[in-house]
Chain A
Amino acid sequence: MIELRNLEKAFETRAGQTFVLRRIDLKIESGEFVTIMGPSGAGKTTLLSILGMLDHAWTGEFRFLEHDVHAMKPRERIDLNKKHIGFVFQQYHLLDDLTVAENLDIPLSYRNIKGSERAALVADTLDRFQIVGKKDLFPNQLSGGQQQLVGVARALIANPKLLLADEPTGNLHSDQGREIMRLFQKLNDEGTTIVQVTHSEENARYGHRIIRLRDGWILGEETVKDRIGTTTGAAR
């Protein structure tokens, strides 16, 4: 699904070029659950932003679903993002002035979907994530875990092929975090490719593979041996 070749990102400073990512070569197959790990400043979130087409200032090759992203204009990349990618943020990033249902509707409203169809999708998603009773609440009326749940639901409502999650449990306590990770695993079992960034070794054990970054370089990759969850084995 994803192939990166010699991908690099750097800033120009007075001292010269400062690299955030260096010669990243990476392949992620469809249906994989991949974790990107590394210390602060390793470039994990930057890599995720590039995968999510939120960051356009990089060099190298990036192929996504047979598309040469490196050859596309930013607008074309955004269209690709809209069609196939969902993003879960560490700070949830729900819109405070919108209810749960309206927050779920927002990505649909940016995708030229008719109102009646959107309403049906929102209803289905509320049902799927068992948050129907909370549809008229505002984010400040939900717990952290509930907000992140809504964030995940929002990321998935348009049926993306790829789910990117940046420290999805970073602001949650451990029980809530486990709930979210179990949900991710379930989604992956259902066919969604997931790439997460995390500091947590425990969270990494929900996935199939770990990619370790340091100072912008990929140090190595490893398959998760003692995977947590209902399914075991390699990626489909």
Chain B
Amino acid sequence: MKQDIQYAIRTLARTPGFTAVAVVTMALGIGATTGIFSVVHAVLWNPLPFNEPGRLAVIWETDAHNKSFEEGASTPDFVDFRRDARSFSGLAAVQGRWLNLTEERREPERISANAVSGTYFDVLGVRAALGRALGDADDRPGAAGVVVLSDALWRSRYAASRDALGREISLDGAPYRVVGVMPPGFDSTDNQAWIPLAPSLGAFKDLRGVHNLLVIGRLAQRVSFERAGAEMSAIAARLARQYPDDNAGRSTRVLPLAEAYSGGVRPSLLVLLGAVALVTLISCANVSGLLLARAAGRTREIAIRRALGAERGRIARQLLTESVLVALVGCLGGLALAAWGRDALVALSPQSLPRVSEAGLNLPVLLFSLLLSAACGILAGLAPAVSGTREIERSLRAGDHRAAARGSVRGVLVAAQIVLACVLTTGAGLLLRSLQNLRRVDPGFRAAGLVTARIQLPRSKYPEPPRENFYKWPEVLRFYDEVLPRLRALPGVSSASLAVNHPLREGWTSQVEVEGQVQRPGERDETRIRPISPDYFRTTGTPVLRGRPLDERDRQGAPGVVLVNEAFARRYFPGRDPVGRTLSFWDRKREIVGVVRDVRFRGPAHESEPAVYPSLFQVPISDVFLLVRSSATRAVVIPAMRTAVRAVEPDVALFQVRTADELLTESLGSSRFETTLLSLFGVAALLLSALGLYGLLAYSVARRTREIGIRLALGARRSDLAGMIVREGLARCLAGLAVGAVAALASTRLLSSLLYGVRPSDPLIFAGVFGTLLAVALAASLLPARRAASVDPWKALRTE
């Protein structure tokens, strides 16, 4: 073995050109696969940074009537779960927040935080790295405000100083004391702080119909997920009987916590991993072709070795050693490529891809890369190793160093590359068309010139009123009245409004009763509730189709009004005019005064759902979006918006600032990610296949020099010879395409769930791919064809 390795190194070093091409080809395939694998590993397979993560579960609530399977729990439901469930050694609730962090003589900062129940850290089984975590004693109404920081926030804001412990800070105007810091990597959702849940629950805490808590739990000893799921379903059934108005038709799903992080993205990530594996296979086939050509030139050496007693297995081992060595050196290059591309890959990833920031060259990824390289080396070396010469005596006697190459095997390899390239480019073509279709979808509003920004009014200055006074929140109304004129007066601004959701945010749902249409509990549909200020539809460019928009009349004390969208009208008033009809939600009746165009608030790929738009002045909320339509640039508008808001409320910071164009781009995030990567893979596959075909044809021309010389001497025209080579190239391509078409048809079905407005068997895409591959084959054939046409017949025949 040592001898084989030494000889392999020496042989490869003596042909630096060949070795460089083979190593780079391997590095491309291995590097791309390693990069994608690092993302897939981080998102899907990296264990969560908690104690015994396999025992952790998420408990979703489901709504059978609305076919919704991943809803949060209401606070009363969570209390009942904790009281009744025996399958869990602990249950905890989590609610995400955005908070203004302010301190004396320091710049305020907007941070993402989780309000958690006292059992949260016990359930996860993680201790604080510094100080302590939150406990039950902290999670009581009236308890002193305490906060635990993330390691990242502790380092960025307090330079990892132990003095941060005990520090008094203000979160949304309320005092909190820092009691602990969590270990690095604890929260992979980039959450920056944890505060107790109970003291911060607002007016909705007693409403069973408000499902705003994520519930997690740790399975009790020797309890399976199935058993826990059965128990929770039984508890949910009991609550449905007990509280039919709110819980009828509702049940639960118990899933591993890891799936809550990554379940939705699993199919697309696995598609990408499969696609990049195809690129690696093409690289292997390419290198295999190179090695085969090289082995053909070493027929004499192999024959000598066999004449000297080497068994075929020994020769094969020697050739495989070379190919594995090429692959291992390619592995080093691939790792460098993966490391270099890691940041670009993470930046390209959609926001919906959780834990992607954990992607990197850790031990599992390095091991994968090493195993992949060994496998590639063996795969690439198999054909040359197996096709060792049997014709020892003839090879030795002839002394002919240009012994017959394994042209047929190389031809099969090139055809295989074309098959794989066909599959990849077809997939890329379908996704590109799908993305194009998505970009053409009318989202229901005009994105150009629209800017959105979110604010949260601090609780300290805007304390939440009691539930019975929920609709009378004078402080918030005063803020609306003061900020809106300032926004409208900004230079370049043609319209400004406020809303709880911007056009591409799903928002809340609630059950809505339509007058005259009684629905039994459990059969009520969920409807999107989207409070807005007057001028909202003018600002977003969404047309009001019937009736009137909201206006200054629609304030506190006036009759309750809403607008509904087309989807709502189709569901509840098919063929009839809903204007003037009445509906109820949140204990209030409201008149429908208008119908607006549907807006695709779940993104261009999703049809709109029924939605109602009440007046924000009748349903005041302290967490709202500012929407401004302006002819000025982003760089001008956003600072102006900040100034306008700070003039009314100095302690409020803008966050989640986006233009509507950016929001639309983000809404396509997952599609863009898959399409971009698959397109890159498709291009790589085309290039590698072209190289493989070029190499085959060039070798064919070199081997047929004598034949070409004879043909010329017998009267063939040079164009005939060039055409002969081009036809050979196209024939090989067509052979690959014939199989590739079938393979592409079979494989593109896997993409069905990722496509929009295009069928997996779209004939135009297939035709385009075939045309592209034929063009690539033609391009790859041109240079060898030119060489064939340039052969000097007398030289060719004299050489022989």
Contact assessment for B393 and A87 in the assembled complex, using a CB-CB cutoff below 8 Å: no
Chain B 302-351 residues near chain A, CB threshold 8 A: 304-305, 307-311, 314
Contact assessment for A78 and B309 in the assembled complex, using a CB-CB cutoff below 8 Å: yes
Contact assessment for B307 and A87 in the assembled complex, using a CB-CB cutoff below 8 Å: yes
Chain B 390-424 residues near chain A, CB threshold 8 A: 392-393, 396-397, 399
| Bound Cα distance A106, B302 (Å) | 12
Residues on B with beta carbons closer than 8 Å to the beta carbon of A55: 393
CB-CB contacts of B1-39 with A at 8 A, as 1s and 0s?
A: 001000100110010000000000000000000000000
CB-CB contacts of A165-189 with B at 8 A, as 1s and 0s?
A: 0100000000000000000000000
* Interface residues in A, total, Cβ within 8 A: 27
| Interface residue? B300 (CB, 8 A) | yes
- B402 shortest CB reach to chain A, Å: 14
| Interface residue? B707 (CB, 8 A) | no
| Interface residue? B301 (CB, 8 A) | yes
| Interface residue? A144 (CB, 8 A) | no
Contact assessment for A93 and B309 in the assembled complex, using a CB-CB cutoff below 8 Å: no
Residues on B with beta carbons closer than 8 Å to the beta carbon of A82: 309
Contact assessment for B307 and A97 in the assembled complex, using a CB-CB cutoff below 8 Å: no
| Bound Cα distance A93, B3 (Å) | 20
Contact assessment for A93 and B307 in the assembled complex, using a CB-CB cutoff below 8 Å: yes
Residues on B with beta carbons closer than 8 Å to the beta carbon of A107: 308-309
Q: Which of B10, B11, B14, B393 contacts A49 (CB under 8 A)?
A: B393
Residues on B with beta carbons closer than 8 Å to the beta carbon of A208: none
| Interface residue? A45 (CB, 8 A) | yes
Chain A 30-69 residues near chain B, CB threshold 8 A: 45-46, 49, 52, 54-55
| Bound Cα distance A95, B11 (Å) | 11
| Bound Cα distance A106, B3 (Å) | 10
| Interface residue? A111 (CB, 8 A) | yes
Residues on A with beta carbons closer than 8 Å to the beta carbon of B399: 90-91
| Bound Cα distance A75, B310 (Å) | 11
Q: With A54-B393, A97-B10 in contact, do A78 and B308 touch (Cβ < 8 Å)?
A: no
Residues on A with beta carbons closer than 8 Å to the beta carbon of B392: 54
| Interface residue? A159 (CB, 8 A) | no
- B453 shortest CB reach to chain A, Å: 70
Contact assessment for B311 and A110 in the assembled complex, using a CB-CB cutoff below 8 Å: yes
Q: With A55-B393, A89-B396, A93-B396 in contact, do A111 and B10 touch (Cβ < 8 Å)?
A: no
Chain B 366-405 residues near chain A, CB threshold 8 A: 392-393, 396-397, 399
Contact assessment for A110 and B314 in the assembled complex, using a CB-CB cutoff below 8 Å: yes
* Prevailing SS type, chain B contact patch: helix
Contact assessment for A97 and B14 in the assembled complex, using a CB-CB cutoff below 8 Å: yes
Residues on A with beta carbons closer than 8 Å to the beta carbon of B307: 52, 54, 87, 89, 93
Contact assessment for B301 and A45 in the assembled complex, using a CB-CB cutoff below 8 Å: no
| Interface residue? A81 (CB, 8 A) | yes
| Bound Cα distance A90, B304 (Å) | 12
- A130 shortest CB reach to chain B, Å: 22
| Interface residue? A154 (CB, 8 A) | yes
Contact assessment for B309 and A110 in the assembled complex, using a CB-CB cutoff below 8 Å: yes
Contact assessment for A106 and B308 in the assembled complex, using a CB-CB cutoff below 8 Å: yes
Residues on A with beta carbons closer than 8 Å to the beta carbon of B310: 110
| Bound Cα distance A160, B114 (Å) | 83
Contact assessment for A110 and B308 in the assembled complex, using a CB-CB cutoff below 8 Å: yes
| Bound Cα distance A94, B10 (Å) | 16
**Most B C-beta atoms less than 10 A away, residue of A54, A87, A94:** A54
Contact assessment for B7 and A97 in the assembled complex, using a CB-CB cutoff below 8 Å: yes
| Interface residue? A109 (CB, 8 A) | yes
Residues on B with beta carbons closer than 8 Å to the beta carbon of A81: 309
Contact assessment for A95 and B393 in the assembled complex, using a CB-CB cutoff below 8 Å: no
Q: With A49-B393, A89-B396, A109-B3 in contact, do A95 and B301 touch (Cβ < 8 Å)?
A: yes
Residues on A with beta carbons closer than 8 Å to the beta carbon of B304: 89, 93-95
Residues on A with beta carbons closer than 8 Å to the beta carbon of B300: 93
| Bound Cα distance A56, B327 (Å) | 37
Chain A 92-131 residues near chain B, CB threshold 8 A: 93-98, 106-107, 109-111
**Most B C-beta atoms less than 10 A away, residue of A46, A52, A96, A110:** A110
- B308 shortest CB reach to chain A, Å: 4
Residues on B with beta carbons closer than 8 Å to the beta carbon of A89: 304, 307, 396
- A60 shortest CB reach to chain B, Å: 17
| Bound Cα distance A166, B392 (Å) | 14
Residue of A nearest to B314 (CB): A110
Residues on A with beta carbons closer than 8 Å to the beta carbon of B314: 110
| Bound Cα distance A107, B393 (Å) | 17
- A177 shortest CB reach to chain B, Å: 18
| Bound Cα distance A23, B444 (Å) | 95
- A65 shortest CB reach to chain B, Å: 17
- B301 shortest CB reach to chain A, Å: 6
CB-CB contacts of A187-204 with B at 8 A, as 1s and 0s?
A: 000000000000000000
Residues on B with beta carbons closer than 8 Å to the beta carbon of A87: 307-308
| Bound Cα distance A75, B300 (Å) | 21
Residue of A nearest to B4 (CB): A109
| Bound Cα distance A49, B397 (Å) | 10
| Bound Cα distance A82, B309 (Å) | 6
| Bound Cα distance A90, B11 (Å) | 25
Contact assessment for A97 and B393 in the assembled complex, using a CB-CB cutoff below 8 Å: no
**Most A C-beta atoms less than 10 A away, residue of B11, B310, B314, B392:** B310
Residue of B nearest to A90 (CB): B399
Residue of A nearest to B10 (CB): A97
Residue of B nearest to A107 (CB): B308
Residue of B nearest to A95 (CB): B301
**Most A C-beta atoms less than 10 A away, residue of B11, B307, B314:** B307
- B143 shortest CB reach to chain A, Å: 77
| Bound Cα distance A166, B397 (Å) | 9
Residue of B nearest to A55 (CB): B393
Contact assessment for B311 and A78 in the assembled complex, using a CB-CB cutoff below 8 Å: yes
CB-CB contacts of B422-448 with A at 8 A, as 1s and 0s?
A: 000000000000000000000000000
| Bound Cα distance A91, B396 (Å) | 8
Residues on A with beta carbons closer than 8 Å to the beta carbon of B7: 97-98
- A137 shortest CB reach to chain B, Å: 15
Q: Which of A49, A90, A96, A154 contacts B308 (CB under 8 A)?
A: A154
| Bound Cα distance A109, B4 (Å) | 11
Q: Which of A45, A75, A95, A109 contacts B397 (CB under 8 A)?
A: A45
Residue of B nearest to A89 (CB): B396
Residues on A with beta carbons closer than 8 Å to the beta carbon of B10: 97
Chain B 250-302 residues near chain A, CB threshold 8 A: 300-301
Residues on B with beta carbons closer than 8 Å to the beta carbon of A96: 301
Residues on B with beta carbons closer than 8 Å to the beta carbon of A78: 309, 311
**Most B C-beta atoms less than 10 A away, residue of A55, A82, A95, A166:** A95
Residues on A with beta carbons closer than 8 Å to the beta carbon of B309: 78, 81-82, 107, 110-111
- B15 shortest CB reach to chain A, Å: 10
**Most A C-beta atoms less than 10 A away, residue of B300, B301, B308, B310:** B308
- A31 shortest CB reach to chain B, Å: 24
| Bound Cα distance A111, B310 (Å) | 8
Residue of A nearest to B14 (CB): A97
- B186 shortest CB reach to chain A, Å: 55
| Bound Cα distance A49, B303 (Å) | 13
| Bound Cα distance A97, B14 (Å) | 9
- B360 shortest CB reach to chain A, Å: 41
| Bound Cα distance A78, B10 (Å) | 29
Residue of B nearest to A105 (CB): B3
Residues on B with beta carbons closer than 8 Å to the beta carbon of A91: 396, 399
In the A-B complex, the 9 residue pairs with the closest CB atoms: A110-B309, A49-B393, A82-B309, A107-B308, A93-B304, A91-B399, A110-B310, A54-B393, A55-B393
Given A46-B393, A54-B393, A95-B305, 12 further pairs, Cβ under 8 A? A45-B397, A52-B307, A54-B307, A54-B396, A55-B393, A87-B308, A95-B301, A97-B14, A109-B3, A110-B310, A110-B314, A111-B309
The 30 listed contacts between A and B (C-beta, < 8 Å) are A45-B397, A49-B397, A52-B307, A54-B396, A75-B311, A78-B309, A81-B309, A82-B309, A87-B308, A89-B307, A90-B399, A91-B396, A91-B399, A93-B300, A93-B307, A95-B301, A95-B305, A97-B7, A97-B10, A97-B11, A106-B305, A106-B308, A107-B308, A110-B309, A110-B310, A110-B311, A110-B314, A111-B309, A154-B308, A166-B397
